[in-house]
Structure 1
Amino acid sequence: MGVSSEFPNSHSLFQKWTRLDLTQKTLANQVEKTGNQLQTQEFQVRCEPDTSSQFEIPNQEQEPPDLLYVGVDGVMTPLNQKQGYKEAKVGVIFWSKDHKKLGKKRGVIRQREYVATLKSRGEFRERVSQLYNQVAGKKNTKTVFLGDGAHWIWAMASEQFPGAVEILDFFHLSEYVWAVAKAAYPNKEDYQKDWVKTQQQLLKKSEWTTVIENCHHFPKKKKDLSKAITNLERYLTNNQSRIDYRSYLKAGLMIGSGVVESSNRRVVTQRLKQAGMHWSFFGAEGVMALRAAYLSNSTRWSNFWSSLSYNSP
């Protein structure tokens, strides 16, 4: 209740199913309190990810390392009492073997683990570390880190996961390409789609400099087009060590099919960013913690409720 749907609807269902006289405010307070309790219980121990296996040279008897993906992104979340918006940091961790293709352009990740918080980047890093260790265990693991262009994300990747393959999420990069197409061909969707498709094909061949050249071929560039081109060029240049998509695809790696963006949507946007919603820091933190555990595929959710039942008088 209150985890999957907004509090008014949850309150209505609760009364209908239980016939108990409980105010909506009481329900909301209890949900938010429980979420913060779950968060505290899950992340009591500070730790760092064990990346030692990334530096070992495997001998002939060792099995090849399993690929473990870490995706990180941020999404602005509306707070109340004139606090404006604050960035929620969201992480998703999953094994390569759990990514199944459903066609040429579609795929599904069968098992994944989420973490989310409004707290500091340092707190977030510790929580990603702990979740990573829980998922990786003692397996021989190679890490692939997916993210957008935010500096703090790549600083986190290089410091916490040295030796990981860093990949700029292709979904995010494509948004910059689309911005150029829309500015170059306003109200001409077919032209936009064709141009974007061509540039995406070039990017997947690691020919990103050709994409920049193509941008500068547009005649009489208007202000919005010039800005979009500058943004794309800067984005590519700043992340050139993370956009060797030809090599990534050849190695069978995911380059980001929107899995990072969908994590934002599933954990935060669908529940905390509905029309008219504004949250206290405590409330948003609690609901995000509950959703991260509830939407994950491990036993985190059931373990938490079992612990509450076990500790109750």
Structure 2
Amino acid sequence: MTLSIPLTLVMATYGAPSESDTPAHLGRSFDDLCTASEGQLRALVNAFRSEPVTPTRTLQFEQDVQAALRELGRHVVHYTYNHVEPAAVADQPTHAQFECERYTRVHTKTPQNVWTVFGQIVVRRVGYRPSQAGEPMIFPLAHRFGLVHGASPALAARACQLLAEAGTNQQRVLDRLRTDHGVGWGVKKLRQVSQAVSDEMAEYRHDAQVEQLLTWLAAAGESTGRHKPVVCVGRDGITLRLRAKRGSLYEVASTGTISVYDRRARRLGTVYLAYTPESGQPTMSRALTAVIRDVLTRWDGPVPRWCYVTDAGDNETGYYDDALQGMTHPRTRQVVEWVRVVDYYHASERVWTLANALFGGDREAAGWAKKMLKWMLQPGGVNRVLHSAAAFRVARTLPRVQRTEYDRAYAYLRNRMGHMDYARYRRVGVPLGSGVTEAACKTVFTQRLKLSGMRWTKDGAQTVLNLRVILLSGIWEVVYQRVLAARPQPTVGGYGASEPNEIGIAA
């Protein structure tokens, strides 16, 4: 037995929600709806038990029950949403206020297609015309529901979470919505909903991330261990394929991370930032600085150790020189002491470059490089590496290519020795490498925006990035609740006084 028979029964009893729904139809008792649905579920159970049980029938049974429950949910939501406003338009208040504008009630209800997590329904609601020409009509019920382009808050959140997940794309999201929720959207509708929600959530991302970091800092302070709690800041760039008038172009996008480590140097959590390609990356710099400053302002516990761990790229180094070095505490006005760390693994690459230039990439090169990497972790390690490399360089005549590679690698290490005191960093519990930030490039960008064949407009990519960093930072629920609470609501005089008081009482 398949679901077709039970669904046929329920559609015959109540009909599919449509624009032809009448007040009489909507006035059916909620108890009648529940009774009919109970009968159809019993029919599924009895049909399953009436024949030998097999794995195939078990699979079909669970799928049928799931679909039946979703259909029941759709009818429950349809019934409930259509009984929020009074059944008679005359019982609705005559006037409404919204964003300093006065509106007057029209004389009939009009239908609206509404998409929910249970599927599509039709809601008949009362509209209000503006007193001044040129303004659109408003529907207070739609504002009360928090609809976004016809999508309920629950469905909008679900669609945006799916869109923000790793390994997905627009078509997969649409397929999931159709399979899991019976929602037959197209690409245009998905983009409308996701852009609207993304823009709203981006406004509350900052405060939620600051609160998350403060929570982790409090937990780090209560932990046991020999180190001070550490706040580690990092940023990096990654190429992103953008859509151009003719083909594609590749530009460097940016990602930022702020992590909190406890007294045992264990990472408690990370908040993420990500922005599409921009010359000089000023948006990333402003956003990262704003989070840091607000954490400094609002944290009143023992001062943690602040560190900045990145490679030595131009944007990464420039940000430290311009924004972090010399930063004053917002409350104490004292200069914040930063521990600047050049990523150990980037430094290690230069050691291998030196080895290959000096020894030609053979076994001797590998032996020397491995020895130098151990020295790097000891006090004065970089200086010892440079002395060893210089000694071998004097005894060798290098071809021009190897000589150029040697000089660049040597200069890289020599010029950044002050930020490569890895022995001290280990001693005080500061991360040696920018692995968290490097991983962020993969988790934020590569796993979502760099799948096969993907090209992006900057606006489209930023829509997904806004959602993705909120999801990865673990603040989705907090941010979304604030978005819903902040949506403006019309003021309708005396609204709700004549609404049904109990479920099951026909309007």
CA separation in 2, counterparts of 1:191 and 1:29? 60
2:177 aligns with 14
Cα distance, 1:304–1:214 mapped onto 2, change above 3 Å: same
Cα distance, 1:153–1:99 mapped onto 2, change above 3 Å: farther
Q: How does 1:155-304 map to 2 (within 5 A)?
A: 155-161=318-324, 162=326, 163-180=337-354, 194-205=367-378, 206-215=380-389, 217=392, 221-222=398-399, 225-256=402-433, 258-297=435-474, 300-304=475-479
* C-alpha distance after superposition, 1:132-160 (max 9, x if no partner): 24555323233111111123323322443
Cα distance, 1:197–1:258 mapped onto 2, change above 3 Å: farther
Higher relative contact order (CA 8 A, sep 6+): 1
CA separation in 2, counterparts of 1:134 and 1:112? 16
CA separation in 2, counterparts of 1:37 and 1:193? 53
2:13 aligns with none
Answering whether residue 317 of structure 2 is matched by residue 144 of structure 1, we say no
1:91 aligns with 256
Answering whether residue 230 of structure 2 is matched by residue 67 of structure 1, we say yes
* C-alpha distance after superposition, 1:220-248 (max 9, x if no partner): 64555434323322221232221111222
Q: Mind listing any 5+ residue stretches in structure 2 that lack a counterpart?
A: 1-161, 208-226, 327-336, 490-507
CA contact (8 A) 2:265 2:430 kept: no
CA separation in 1, counterparts of 2:418 and 2:262? 26
CA contact (8 A) 1:167 1:255 kept: yes
Answering whether residue 272 of structure 2 is matched by residue 114 of structure 1, we say yes
CA separation in 2, counterparts of 1:192 and 1:18? 60
TM-score normalised by length of structure 2: 0.50
Cα distance, 1:97–1:66 mapped onto 2, change above 3 Å: closer
Q: 1:132 aligns with which of 277, 292, 295?
A: 292
Secondary structure, counterpart of 2:164 in structure 1: coil
CA contact (8 A) 1:99 1:110 kept: no
How far residue 258 of structure 1 moved from its aligned partner, in angstroms, is: 1.6
How far residue 28 of structure 1 moved from its aligned partner, in angstroms, is: 4.3
CA contact (8 A) 1:72 1:91 kept: yes
Secondary structure, counterpart of 1:248 in structure 2: helix
Q: Percent identity?
A: 20
How far residue 293 of structure 1 moved from its aligned partner, in angstroms, is: 1.2
Paired residue type of 1:127: A
Cα distance, 1:183–1:237 mapped onto 2, change above 3 Å: closer
* C-alpha distance after superposition, 1:47-104 (max 9, x if no partner): xxxxxxxxxxxxxxxxx96421111211121111156222222111122218756xxx
Secondary structure, counterpart of 2:233 in structure 1: strand
TM-score normalised by length of structure 1: 0.77
Cα distance, 1:249–1:32 mapped onto 2, change above 3 Å: same
Secondary structure, counterpart of 1:84 in structure 2: strand
2:242 aligns with 79
CA contact (8 A) 1:100 1:110 kept: no
CA separation in 1, counterparts of 2:355 and 2:197? 46
CA contact (8 A) 1:115 1:128 kept: yes
Answering whether residue 330 of structure 2 is matched by residue 153 of structure 1, we say no
CA contact (8 A) 2:311 2:434 kept: no
How far residue 184 of structure 1 moved from its aligned partner, in angstroms, is: 6.8
CA contact (8 A) 2:257 2:270 kept: yes
1:309 aligns with 484
Please provide the CA RMSD for this pair: 3.1
1:54 aligns with none
CA separation in 1, counterparts of 2:415 and 2:205? 36
Aligned residues: 285
Secondary structure, counterpart of 2:163 in structure 1: coil
CA contact (8 A) 1:74 1:88 kept: yes
CA contact (8 A) 2:264 2:429 kept: no
Paired residue type of 1:72: R
Secondary structure, counterpart of 2:185 in structure 1: coil
How far residue 274 of structure 1 moved from its aligned partner, in angstroms, is: 1.9
Cα distance, 1:37–1:309 mapped onto 2, change above 3 Å: closer
CA contact (8 A) 2:229 2:263 kept: no
Q: Mind listing any 5+ residue stretches in structure 1 that lack a counterpart?
A: 45-63, 102-108
